[in-house]
Amino acid sequence: MYGALCRSVARNILGTNEDAEECFDDALLTAWNAIPPAHPQSLRAYILRLVHNHAVNRWNASRAQKRGGSQLPAALDELSEVLASRENIEDENERREMLEGITEFLRGLPKQQRDLFVRRYWYAATVSELSALFNMTENHVKVTLSRIRKRLQNYLRKEGLL
């Protein structure tokens, strides 16, 4: 049911269809083992998160082998520029505050911009994919993402998180 979406997430993170397929299979197996006792409210979000975690783990492992093709580093690089002043979050409370700040910021955005942000930095979607998905030009997608990042930075500074 969610195969295409999950495979696209895994492919964007890992960069190859084979790795994405394996990642998706691993995620389904994990879900099979976890449910029950786990009882997720949103099965799609649950499976997507499993796929995302498996893909990130596999990407971390492959990054050590210098395998390219992933969109995740580029997306993370874009976002890390915004949060450059915060080198590291060691404390769990700080990480939670930062997460809450980002979440609140995203909830304050219009749905389109929020979806665009999540699709880019969580789903690791490419700009071209976002362009086709949101019926926007690639330039428009880039400009919109840049403005969202700028606003996120201002918001986090205003909240004292940066």
- Interface residues with other proteins (CB under 8 A) are 5, 40-42, 44-46, 48-49, 52-53, 56, 60, 72-73, 76-77, 79-80, 83-84, 86-89, 95, 98-99, 102-103, 106-107, 111-112, 114-116, 118-119, 121-123, 133-136
CB of 102 to other proteins, least distance (A): 7
Of 29 and 118, the one with the shorter C-beta distance to other proteins is 118
**Shortest reach from residue 43's CB to other proteins, in Å:** 10
Closest CA to 71 of 22, 23, 126, 130: 126
Complex with other proteins: residue 16 or 133, whichever CB lies closer: 133
Between 102 and 148, CB nearer to other proteins: 102
Question: What is the nearest approach in angstroms of other proteins to the Cβ of residue 99?
Answer: 5
Distance, in Å, from the CA atom of 137 to the CA atom of 158, rounded to the nearest integer, reads 31
Give whichever of 17 and 137 is closer to other proteins, judged by the CB atom: 137
Q: How many residues does the chain have?
A: 162
List C-alpha distances in Å: 39 to 32, 42, 83, 98: 11, 9, 34, 27
Q: What is the 3-state secondary structure (H, E, C) of 87-133?
A: CCCCCHHHHHHHHHHHHHHHHHCCHHHHHHHHHHHCCCCCHHHHHHH
Q: How far is the CB of 65 from other proteins (least distance, A)?
A: 17
Nearest to 116 by CA among 82, 139, 142, 152: 142
Give least dist CB 103 to other proteins, A: 6
Nearer to other proteins, 67 or 114 (CB): 114
Structure tokens at 43: 């099965």
